[in-house]
Chains A and B, each alone.
Chain A
Amino acid sequence: MSFFLDLLIESSVLLLVVLGLGIILGLMDVINLAQSGFMAVGVYAALTAAHRGVNFWLAVLVGAAATGVLGLLAEWAIIRRLYARPLETLLATWGISLVLVQLISIYFGHGPQSFDEPFVTAVPVLGVQYPAYRLVIFVAAFAVVAVLYLVVRFTRWGLIARMVMANQALAAGLGINTVRVRQVTFLIGSLLAGFAGALLGPIQGVSPYYATALIAPAFLAVLLAGRTLLGLVLASAVLAVTATVFSRYFNPVYATAVTVAVAVVLLRLFPEGLTRWRRS
């Protein structure tokens, strides 16, 4: 049963990282290489607040907010001017990530930082004792997915976002401010990146090169997802389960290679994404 919980948590960790990336790619066609930089900003803002006595959960929200503000700034100053040029967008977001990492290094130093969990306890789940904070990560991932689904499915903004995603030119022709939609989308993606960074900080090593180990599988998951929320959930689960099972029962050194191989095979079988076969 612990193993099943491990699979659930590993999938949740990857899903939290993937959500911000997936939102931005799905709506804006922007591959945000600044994701790891945004996550680093989130965790450093959160731990700064926590070290100043702010409650842990508030500190996580501070991290998300700080990253959201940064995302707004980056979108206004740089990304907005490059929407029609996807390769330049890649370069620009990569450059943003480099700058963020170096700024963090200059201000906080290169060494690791401490960011303690709000509680170190285990709770009984399905007959086993399991670390409580790791369960919080699962709950958070589930909650974020639920909120995003409800917003996209049942709100006016969600309808607008789906219209822009389906046909941006037509949406603009109907009077929708597509610039504002993109701005809000990038804000939400940045908020999610900062939230993920801050929430995962207590179980990761916090340094300027934070979360780099999670970014590569996150991009694979986004490619597999097919630009749907369900796709993001499925892709995260498939890749996390593959890596965890292979690490557990075979050789961890090759788990990454096997995960990539599985992703390549699935992309070959489902080129439009894991959920697109239903439409075709």
Chain B
Amino acid sequence: MIPKRVASGRLRAVVALSVALVATACGGGNSPSSTNSGPAQVYKVGLVVPVTGGGSANADPVIQGANLALDEINSKHLAGTNVKLQFVQVDDATDPKTAQQVCTQLVTQDQVVAIVGSENTPSRAACESAIQSQNLPYFAGNGTGGNVCYSNMFFFGIAPNQQVSPLVDYLTQKQNLKKFYILASDYAPPKGSVAVAAKQVPADGGTIVATTYEPLNTSQFSSDVAKIAAAQPDLVLSGLVGNDQIPFHKQLGDDPRTKSIKVASFQMNEAIAAAVGSESVGVFVASDYISGDSSAANNAWLAAFNKKYGSSAKPSFFAAETYDATLMMAAAIKKAGGTDAGKVISAVTQVSVDTERGHIVIKDGSHGYATLAAHIGRVNSNFGIDQIDVTPPVDPVVACPSS
């Protein structure tokens, strides 16, 4: 049941935004009758970020990417109108209960028209339970294990097949690495990636000598290092997440038995590489975004990013995913001609954006997952990631519980 004040507030938002967007579409950016007259009409968009808690390490790039996109939307895409989008940023504390509370607040108090978020799986599910009654569109600036599907949720991070398959192809065919040891966090997204690797490695002529899972927040990896030393694989395929990667790479690289074994990671980014230090140099990475991509689009994006954030800029894949999610949100609202949730959700598969990651589109039948290219990279001696290969856009393979 939608509260009356929420419903009336939304109706006013829909009418005003529709007028502004129609005026813009008609080239009426300068139309005196409906634009640039009076103060800007501000529409709120929820930005849900784990600023505290275990997921907080990713908060800064997410916030930076989202706000860079918002600046672009307000200054370019909504230029000439008297409409502005504004983020209402909330902290889910990497906790589902908090996520539900803050998302409820976004709906009932802030009356947001959409949500952009970068939460972990349990928190995102909790937020979804809070917004489901309103069917608010949720634009997720991260990926999943490929088995999370909601009709109102759209994912701009990588699905396992978009990352793992290209990475394994590259490692087996171009690096001639055949014997794999897989170590991953006991958590849904890495498990989804491991499931894809378990099929792809033998398909590419390789063998998996062992697969081990460690709980989240593990900091002691001596057992794993010992097992890897005993197995002597060609490569360790790491699905460890977050800061767990740091002690693992350090402990693996420090041990004389394992320091020469090559490593590939699903989750390594520039910040983690810098924190690991010299032990991260040479690690293979597969991601939907690598800052070392030398394309013109990425160079322009990096220039804008660094100009806005200076020395505190963190243009990692978290930033890129949330940036793209925010742009797609605005494109969908524009296509829908307003902020009506149902229309915006329907419009998502009819729009696309061209960003630092290339042409971003969500196709019909993809269960809300973006089609993305895979970028293969390698950590360099400055702890940046050099891009060494990139695939054409790969459609996501998603196993929805209801499909």
Residues on A close to B: CB < 8 A?
2-3, 6, 9-10, 13, 102, 105, 109-114, 116-117, 120, 122, 129-131, 133-134, 202-209, 211-214, 243-244, 247-248, 251-253, 255-256
Contact = CB atoms under 8 A, between A and B. Distances in A.
6 contacts: A110-B56, A120-B279, A129-B257, A130-B255, A205-B245, A256-B215
A211 B214 CA distance: 16
Interface in B347-392: none
B172 to A, nearest CB: 27
A111 B274 CA distance: 11
A9 B226 CA distance: 13
Contacts of A134: 254
Interface in B221-250: 222-224, 226-227, 229, 243-247, 250
Contacts of A248: 223, 226-227
Given A111-B271, A114-B275, A206 B246 contact: yes
Given A117-B254, A129-B257, A131-B254, A206 B275 contact: yes
B213 A112 contact: no
B88 interface: no
Interface of B is mostly: helix
A253 B214 contact: yes
A2 B229 contact: yes
Given A133-B254, A205-B247, A206-B275, 20 more contacts: A6-B223, A105-B52, A109-B60, A111-B60, A111-B271, A112-B243, A114-B277, A122-B255, A131-B251, A131-B256, A205-B275, A209-B53, A214-B219, A247-B214, A247-B224, A248-B227, A251-B213, A252-B212, A252-B214, A252-B224
Nearest to A13: B220
A86 to B, nearest CB: 27
A114 B250 contact: no
Contacts of A105: 52, 56
Nearest to A7: B222
B286 interface: no
Contacts of A212: 217
A16 B222 CA distance: 17
B214 A205 contact: no
B69 to A, nearest CB: 20
A256 B186 CA distance: 13
Contacts of B227: 248
B19 interface: no
Interface of B: 51-54, 56-60, 186, 212-215, 217-220, 222-224, 226-227, 229, 243-247, 250-251, 253-257, 271-272, 274-279, 312, 314
Contacts of A133: 254
B64 to A, nearest CB: 12
Residue of A113, A114, A133, A256 most packed against chain B (CB within 10 A): A114
B57 A207 contact: yes
Nearest to B253: A120
Contacts, number: 116
B246 A205 contact: yes
A9 B255 CA distance: 13
A2 B217 CA distance: 24
Contacts of A207: 56-57, 243
Contacts of B57: 110-112, 207
B134 to A, nearest CB: 30
Most chain B Cβ neighbours within 10 Å, of A13, A202, A204, A244 = A204
A6 B51 CA distance: 36
Most buried by A among B254, B274, B278: B254
Q: Which of A6, A112, A211 has the most CB of B within 10 A?
A: A112
A256 B213 CA distance: 13
A213 B214 CA distance: 12
A128 B223 CA distance: 16
| Residue from the set B51, B54, B229, B246 with the largest chain A CB neighbour count within 10 Å | B246
B220 A10 contact: yes
B244 A252 contact: no
Nearest to B219: A213
Contact of A112 (B222, B246, B256, B312): B246
Contacts of A214: 219
Nearest to A98: B52
B222 A203 contact: no
A122 B256 contact: yes
With a 10 A CB-CB cut-off, give which of B218, B219, B272 has the most chain A CB atoms: B219
B288 to A, nearest CB: 20
A96 B59 CA distance: 23
A252 B278 contact: no
A6 B254 CA distance: 13
A109 B215 CA distance: 25
B54 A209 contact: yes
Contacts of A10: 220, 222
A129 B215 CA distance: 28
Contacts of A102: 52
A252 B243 contact: no
B90 to A, nearest CB: 16
B193 to A, nearest CB: 17
B215 A253 contact: yes
